[in-house]
Structure 1
């Protein structure tokens, strides 16, 4: 058996191979499902980890940043872009799997996930915030109702977000104590599991206490901004 038999089956004759060399692979037209319309509410939630109502609430906040000026090349709608990103968040799967599910090319999915993530991150100042003078007592009361802990305004912890090694001279500082490369992210959450504060710039080898000691949230807490408020954590 000729070792090139499989290649001939894939590309056909020599003329087709030369055409691919000269002009590249033929353009592929992707067939895309309307997942928002086609999936029932439960299946949609299982696939994207958000309800349809939540997606409809998010979309107008970032839609302008995702619109393409024209519909050339069968461009993706803001809704499809958002769902592509949410599918990646929900599964953490390979881009090829995400692309097959959404009906896009791998490079398109990669670009979309980055753009949508940046658009979502731009909303952080409106939604990620510590309690103000007006709602400190409510949050303390909500925490007390959970576990009878008084004066709590937030719970703090670190979590490792896995990344590829950045390489270079400093690459190894991103390797955490569990042996993989990560960013150690400090998060403060409230009694409703909503993020109140986040620090996502320290390499995985950094200890949680180092991140807290150098964080603005510590300065705000010790400066009395939250009155008698306590942030609860575990060493």
Structure 2
């Protein structure tokens, strides 16, 4: 039974006010696509090919389409009257191919600027489904326990870096992370089924994981007791709290070693979740060359679609493009844990492990 839910911490109010895409409309388009014959991919492709190309099966695409239809602009100068379903498929192809926006523009028979606007509009529309598909719950506590017998785990939390192009010379260095590339540091919580339960996608790459958590709505909810007697598991980048357990940096006793081993195995679910999410939608693994508002929309939209795929048990499909090697940034906590904050962890180690 679902025990609690949480509001989005992804600034959806900002997403609702997305600015125009980075491309300028100052010069008229020279290419005319009015005679382009659009293919009905729902009929022309077999199920396996459709899923490989669009990362979702036909049934799930139809379901998403029906949910976002009220938010899609059907006929206007901004999208050249592209049919709504083609707009959605164009965005899904962009999520699958990542940086090749020219390819998706050619695929749909639209200009590059139209493709940019469509991706922005569709991403914002899908992001509006955040609260329906991404929320805290306690349904997988038993599944977490079955991983390594760690009791009362509600979720695993961590951050992952989404590569971006330098925003601008004024604030660009804020987005350069410890590995030297530009990124948005995305915080997420997952359940034992590898579904996302909370996503924060608005902090620059230089932000410390603990800083993101300490300034999040999630932390305030945890302080208010939303988790009950359950815990989140985080790595050493996070502060240990009564509701957020971290590993011991220097375990010495057999009990402490068992605690750390169980903690690491159980917490690994968030790393697996990031892997599944990025392989299905490579756009969040490759370098995005969009405005910051639109990057945030794409991150939230693909997170929503990831959960829909998990809910529908859609098989994992290999990426269509070459994926960069994942090398997460290791950080340590900048917080000093008080006796009160570590008491719950010590009690658990002494009485259970």
Tell me the TM-score range normalised by the shorter chain: 0.7 to 0.9
Number of equivalent positions: 207
Whole-Å separation in 1 of the counterparts to 2:233 and 2:189: 9
Is 1:166 matched with 2:190? no
Deviations 1:70-104 (A, max 9, x none): 79x96221111111111111120311111122222
SS at match of 1:42: helix
Higher relative contact order (CA 8 A, sep 6+): 2
Are the aligned partners of 1:157 and 1:233 in contact in 2 as well (CA < 8 Å)?
yes
1:187 aligns with 2:193: no
- CA change 1:148–1:168 in 2 (3 A) is same
**CA distance 1:165–1:93, change in 2 (3 Å):** closer
Give the equivalent residue in structure 1 for 2:109: 103
Deviations 1:25-48 (Å, cap 9, x if unpaired)?
463432322222111110011111
5+ residue gaps, structure 2, are: 1-27, 237-353
TM-score (normalizing by structure 1)? 0.81
CA drift of 1:205 comes to 0.8
- Gaps of at least 5 residues in structure 1 are 1-22
Alignment correspondent of 2:154: 153
| Structure 1 runs (4+) greater than 6 angstroms displaced | none
Name the SS of the counterpart of 2:199 in structure 1: strand
Whether contact under 8 Å (1:67, 1:77) holds in the other structure is: no
**1:126 and 2:127 matched:** no
Determine whether 1:87 maps to 2:78.
no
Match of 1:77 in 2: 83
Partner of residue 15, structure 1: none
Change (3 A) 1:57 1:147: farther
Larger Rg: 1
Match of 1:144 in 2: 145
Within 5 Å, which residues of 2 pair with 1:1-235? 25=30, 27-28=32-33, 29-69=35-75, 75-131=81-137, 136=138, 138-235=139-236
Aligned match of 2:321: none
2-side partners of 1:92 and 1:74: how far apart? 23
- Tell me the distance in 1 between the aligned counterparts of 2:226 and 2:74: 44
Q: CA RMSD in A?
A: 2.1
**1:116-162 superposed Cα distances (whole Å, 9 cap, x missing partner):** 0000111112221111xxxx2x3211211233221111111111112
Does the CA contact (< 8 Å) of 2:29 and 2:111 recur in 1? no
Structure 2: how far apart are the matches of 1:57 and 1:227?
34
User: 2: CA distance between counterparts of 1:24 and 1:223?
Assistant: 54
* 1:48–1:86 Cα contact (<8 Å) kept: yes
Q: 1:139–1:153: 8 Å Cα contact kept in structure 2? A: yes
